[in-house]
Chains A and B, each alone.
Chain A
Amino acid sequence: METISVYLDHMFASLPKTLEVMRMKQELLSGMEEKYRELKEEGKSENEAIGIVISEFGNIEELTAELGIRAVEPERAAPMLTEHEAYAYTAAKRSAGLWVGLGIFFCASGVALLIFLDTLFETTVDSERGSMLGLIGMFMLGAVGVGMFFNSGMKLSRFKTLEQGFQLSYALKMELRQGQAHYAPTYRFSLITGVCLSVLSPILIFAASYVNEEYAPYGVAAFLLLAAVAVFLFVYYGNIQGAYTKLLEEPILAAAKKEEERISGAVGAVIWPLATIIFLFTGFVYHRWDVNWAVFPIAGILHGMLNGVYNMNRKSEM
């Protein structure tokens, strides 16, 4: 039975996936399966039954001529993705999300440690040593975080070919849709939790400075850790959702999205290092750890705004 469905997938692989074509394929499949079942009931062997069904299939050109469509050029027809590959991709995406999320958490903990130690030793005679210790800690945690980013990138590099486009069988697509629907409540819950955490996290700063003006930097360190937890939730659960979106997205949209991601990446490569430099400079030179963290939310908003402006311009061009 599987053979018949695979045979049809193959025959229809180069045809555009319009509603009309998909309906036609479904009709053919149910007709062929019924014929197969009857042949089996008549006592034909598996091979005989499949042989007869396939020999009586006919000619796909007859259908395409009737529907007035032409097959997609062979070189443009994207390769079929097997069930095994699709699930390997979702697994890799999930694990990559875990490593990126942890990596971000480690980097943020590094910065939090630096602020904490720098403030702790600020008033003592060991102020120099405190800053040094903080810096060493930050770079070590940062190195661990970057290692995690690399690890995540390696896990996904095997699936680079997906960027060139791919096709899914109808059955697999349905299965993935179901998986996504099943996952939706978890995703929603993690998003809401993440948003709540990031909205509430600055409270730690105000609370700390309310108790004592001097404690504000500790509040910032705690705020960074809590915000990192929120980012972890976004990245980890977002990656799982992203795997479904990627596998189920339409091929034409995929190309436009790729360009969008490229631009967004280029913008991010400028904004975020700049924000980090400003943050470290104002921290060490002016010791304003209590306010200079605001550079990160500002960078985030700026990044989002530039993306939005780019998209709006492009849409009006189209």
Chain B
Amino acid sequence: MISSDVIRGYNDTMILYMLLGGESYGYEISKQIRQLTQEKYVMKETTLYSAFARLEKNGYIESFYRDESLGKRRTYYRITPPGLSYYKEKCEEWMVTQAVVNQFIKEW
């Protein structure tokens, strides 16, 4: 299990990455994150939905409703151009972070 302290700053990045491939909705995104990390990281429900709220407030994603079968309605999200440039920034930031932290990591 990964400590959530370490990963906290990159939850938004993960969600944005998942939206790069096209619009999606809450449960699907969390499932994909779980699969992609081979179940090493499971995003908590409150983490996921507070990230949606934050990203939408900042204009990085936008939400819309889509009617599903059986009269259900789902909230879908899609990434916006500012969201894409924010994502790129975060990627660069992580490269630097990773390089810095790696200086102090010793493999046994």
Q: How far is the CA of A34 from the CA of B54 in the complex (A)?
A: 23
Residues of A that sit less than 8 Å from B by CB: 24, 27-28, 30-32, 34-35, 38, 56-60, 62-63, 65-67
Q: A24-B53, A56-B42, A67-B53 are in contact. Are A31 and B47 (CB under 8 A)?
A: no
Among candidates A31, A38, A58, residue contacting B26 with C-beta atoms closer than 8 Å: A31
Q: How far is the CA of A57 from the CA of B54 in the complex (A)?
A: 18
Chain B residues whose C-beta falls within 8 Å of the C-beta of A60 in the assembled complex: 46
Chain B 24-50 interface 0/1 with A at a Cβ cutoff of 8 Å (1 = within): 001100110000000000101111111
- Is A57 within 8 A of B46, CB to CB? yes
Q: How far is the CA of A102 from the CA of B10 in the complex (A)?
A: 69
Residues of B that sit less than 8 Å from A by CB: 26-27, 30-31, 42, 44-50, 52-54, 72, 74-75
Chain A residues whose C-beta falls within 8 Å of the C-beta of B48 in the assembled complex: 31
Least CB distance from A17 to B in Å reads 17
Least CB distance from A39 to B in Å reads 11
Chain A residues whose C-beta falls within 8 Å of the C-beta of B52 in the assembled complex: 27
Q: A34-B27, A35-B27 are in contact. Are A28 and B53 (CB under 8 A)?
A: no
- Is B50 within 8 A of A28, CB to CB? no
Chain B residues whose C-beta falls within 8 Å of the C-beta of A34 in the assembled complex: 27
Chain A residues whose C-beta falls within 8 Å of the C-beta of B75 in the assembled complex: 27
Among candidates A56, A66, A67, residue contacting B44 with C-beta atoms closer than 8 Å: A56
- Is B50 within 8 A of A63, CB to CB? yes
Chain A residues whose C-beta falls within 8 Å of the C-beta of B30 in the assembled complex: 31, 35
Show 6 A/B contacts (Cβ-Cβ < 8 Å), sorted by A: A30-B26, A34-B27, A56-B45, A58-B44, A58-B45, A65-B50
Q: How far is the CA of A64 from the CA of B45 in the complex (A)?
A: 13
Among candidates B45, B53, B72, B74, residue contacting A66 with C-beta atoms closer than 8 Å: B53
Q: How far is the CA of A124 from the CA of B75 in the complex (A)?
A: 84
Q: How far is the CA of A63 from the CA of B46 in the complex (A)?
A: 6
Chain A residues whose C-beta falls within 8 Å of the C-beta of B46 in the assembled complex: 28, 57-60, 62-63
Q: Which 7 A-B pairs have the closest CB atoms?
A: A58-B44, A58-B46, A66-B50, A34-B27, A62-B46, A31-B26, A31-B27
| Beta-carbon nearest neighbor of A29 in chain B | B45
Least CB distance from A21 to B in Å reads 11
- Is A63 within 8 A of B49, CB to CB? yes
Least CB distance from B20 to A in Å reads 21
| Beta-carbon nearest neighbor of B26 in chain A | A31
- Is B45 within 8 A of A32, CB to CB? yes
Q: How far is the CA of A181 from the CA of B96 in the complex (A)?
A: 61
| Beta-carbon nearest neighbor of A25 in chain B | B49
| Beta-carbon nearest neighbor of B34 in chain A | A56
- Is B54 within 8 A of A66, CB to CB? yes
- Is A57 within 8 A of B49, CB to CB? no
Least CB distance from B23 to A in Å reads 15
Q: How far is the CA of A31 from the CA of B53 in the complex (A)?
A: 15
Chain B residues whose C-beta falls within 8 Å of the C-beta of A32 in the assembled complex: 45
Q: How far is the CA of A65 from the CA of B53 in the complex (A)?
A: 11
Residue from B26, B42, B50 whose CB has the most chain A CB atoms within 10 Å: B50
